Amino acid sequence: MTAQILDGKACANQIEKEIIAEVSKISRPPHLVVVIVGDDPASKVYVGNKIKTCKRLGIRSTLIEKKADISESLLVSLIQELNDDDDVDGILIQSPLPNHLDEMMLTDLIDPNKDVDGFHPINLGRLVQGRTDGLIPCTPHGIIRLLNHYQIPLQGKQAVVIGRSRIVGMPMSLLLASQGCNATVTITHSKTEDLAEVVKKADIVIAAVGRAEMIDDTWIKPGCVVVDVGINRVDDASHERGWKLSGDAHPNVSTKASWVSPVPGGVGPMTVMMLMQNTVNAAKKRRQK
């Protein structure tokens, strides 16, 4: 068996066309403000990609760059200003932040109606209630859209989520268990006993642990679906740059799984597109008031 590919680029391209059509019907383009603190190279690449995507979709964007030594009080003031600015529909604080800044506290300060990352306690709380009408965390939402695009059945299936972060693992579990999906969900983490045996029972594996190629073909049962959220930099002398990007799943899972999302080109494009969708949704909801 050779796994079929869950092509995030192809799915994101289709959603992009839908969003462009949606934006064209709005009198004023949605406005996303992205705040980046410091000079982290990876963060600058991610932010640049988001800004380019906004431009392509007709979404207005503003990039605010702050030095790494900015005080927490100044960043708090900036968030409050953006909350109060009626011209701003979405606010994104690019992570990671420097160690002296309390990322969770700052996230909690963002107006939940402008929280396009979907990490505010009110937006996460809606998921706990089984509601999907709020701003949903982008990566989990993108994964559900990707699975639906390829008509992967979820109802009644055994889904194992590896990782319990508030960014991916926990909201992913809530979405899979919601009435729209109706999967039976097991959340696993670093303290799970016999993790490989737990994963082996899964019809769907969501790998979001941040350990390169940890899940191999001995961990999965034939025909399962593997969604790889991991983005790990691995030394590789065969590449000109000396490294390659690797997921949490080993390439050999493709010999046993029915579907696999590639790294890169799987979950990543979907995450960015769901950020765009959240920005549009936030703009439309705010303007209805």
The residues that are catalytic are 50, 94, 117
For the purposes of burial, counting CB atoms within 10 Å of the CB of 127, is it exposed (0-12), middle (13-18) or buried (19 or more)? Answer: buried
- Give one DSSP letter per residue of 143-156, joined into a string: HHHHHHHTT---TT
Long-range CB contacts for residues 12-18, cutoff 8 Å, separation at least 24: 12/269, 12/270, 12/272, 12/273, 14/149, 15/145, 15/270, 15/273, 15/277, 16/56, 16/57, 16/273, 16/276
